[in-house]
Structure 1
Amino acid sequence: MEVICLQDEAFYLLIEEVVDRLKEKENIIQDKWVPPDRAMEILNIKSKTTLQKLRDEGSITFTQPQKKIILYDYDSIMKYLNNHTKKSF
């Protein structure tokens, strides 16, 4: 048996590469559920309070698989952004 040792950073880069290749192979463009930091990045907001407000108002869909884990529906985020698009004059 052969053992391969990797530094933490190299290990995580390898995992990301494997995930990217699997997504490419299966034609998966975007994850259905995104973590709060990714949702905030997509919405271009900096405040967790603003994200919670959108969640509480029902503006974006979320799931809570565990008590402290909240994930946001990518499609509902995009729908929210599209609904608030202003046309230029």
Structure 2
Amino acid sequence: MEVICLHDEAFYALIDKVLDRVQQQQAVREDKWISGSEAMKKLRIQSKTTLQKLRDEGSIRFSQPEKKIILYDTDSINDYLSRHSKATF
């Protein structure tokens, strides 16, 4: 068995790096298909009607695996937000 000794500063720096890496890994694992409430949260809208309008216009992709289940594609939501972003001055 090996014993590794670290100074306090090096130990906490290592912990910070590990936490950053774990958070990056979790961010990458975002679901491709999300529920309507998650889509509304991501789009920062409050109305289900607005979400349906975006779906009906073809602005965002969706999947309907069952009659009452509608899932939204996070990539298309991100693309929609990017298309409607304005350049800074």
Q: TM-score, normalised by structure 1?
A: 0.69
The match for 1:87 is 87
Q: Which has the larger radius of gyration?
A: 2
**1:47-87 deviation line (CA, Å, top 9, x unaligned):** 00000000000000000000000000000000000000001
Give the SS at the match of 2:46.
Answer: coil
Would you say 1:76 and 2:51 are equivalent positions?
no
- Report how far residue 33 of structure 1 moved: 0.0
Structure 1 residue runs of 5 or longer lacking an equivalent are 1-23
- Report how far residue 28 of structure 1 moved: 4.7
Please give the alpha-carbon distance, in whole angstroms, between the structure 1 residues aligned to 2:45 and 2:65: 24
Structure number with the higher helix fraction is 2
Q: Which amino acid letter does the alignment assign opposite residue 65 of structure 1?
A: P
Give the SS at the match of 1:65.
Answer: strand
Cα RMSD of the aligned pairs, angstroms, is 1.9
Q: Which amino acid letter does the alignment assign opposite residue 34 of structure 1?
A: I
Structure 2 residue runs of 5 or longer lacking an equivalent are 1-24
The match for 1:6 is none
Q: 1:88/1:28 Cα in 2 relative to 1: closer, same or farther (>3 Å)?
A: closer
Quick one: percent identity of the two aligned structures? 60
Structure 1 residue runs of 4+, over 2 Å off?
none
Please give the alpha-carbon distance, in whole angstroms, between the structure 1 residues aligned to 2:43 and 2:81: 8
The match for 1:4 is none
Please give the alpha-carbon distance, in whole angstroms, between the structure 2 residues aligned to 1:82 and 1:36: 20
Q: Which amino acid letter does the alignment assign opposite residue 45 of structure 1?
A: I
Map 1:48-67 → 2, pairs under 5 A: 48-67=48-67
